[in-house]
Amino acid sequence: MQRILVLCLIGASTAASATPVATRLHFDAVHAGCEGFVGAAASGTSHAAAQAKISLASCEARERTRAIALVDQERSVRELLAAVRPSLDLLHDVQAHSDLVAQVAALDADANIWLGIAVRALGTVKALPASASPDLVWQHDLRVQILRERVEHWFDRAATDFVEIARLVRRHPELARDPSIAAAVADAARHVVPTVASR
């Protein structure tokens, strides 16, 4: 069955396949570029299915946020959060119902989604030329401060995920030796002090 997914919050329309499978995975429809992950993601609760769900969540977050034309306003913050919410919900499902390796991978994906939308939101305030007047500099800095305060909790959510990865690795040292989550463990080590590697 085909239908048009109207992304009202981001002011764009995307043709996508809407199926009961997509709905079970928290998406009312799946972006064409992410459809390759759907079959495995919907296949159950195995490790392979969990990994596919993580890939699907990351892909959907990337594709849905890419379509948003951002400005440094409250609307853009709401649009970014709405765009990634289904992906975050799917990752939380993985964290709740999967093995430890998949939990670490899902936490890392979750953290990187939060970081990605926070950095993108802040990037909407363009840098000023060196010749900018003091008044323009003041206005620019105020806009950055207001926007930073609005998205600060997104950085906090990412930090919470990285701390949880570090906690899991401390409790289960074998995770640090699993090559499939080496990148996730390294991410946590970069963001958490003391690092995962030193504990």
pLDDT of 4 reads 30
- pLDDT digits over 138-172, tens only? 888 888 788 888 889 999 999 999 999 999 999 99
11 pLDDT higher than 60: no
Domain boundaries, position 112: 2-198
Please identify which residue in the block is written with the tokens 């930073």.
148
Residue type, 156: D
pLDDT of 75 reads 83
- pLDDT digits over 51-92, tens only? 999 999 999 999 999 988 887 677 888 999 999 999 999 999
pTM (2 d.p.): 0.80
Q: For residue 120, how many C-alpha atoms fall within 13 Å in the half-sphere facing its CB?
A: 21
Q: What CA–CA distance (Å, rounded) separates 6 from 144? A: 31
Number of domains in the chain: 1
Please identify which residue in the block is written with the tokens 């390796």.
101
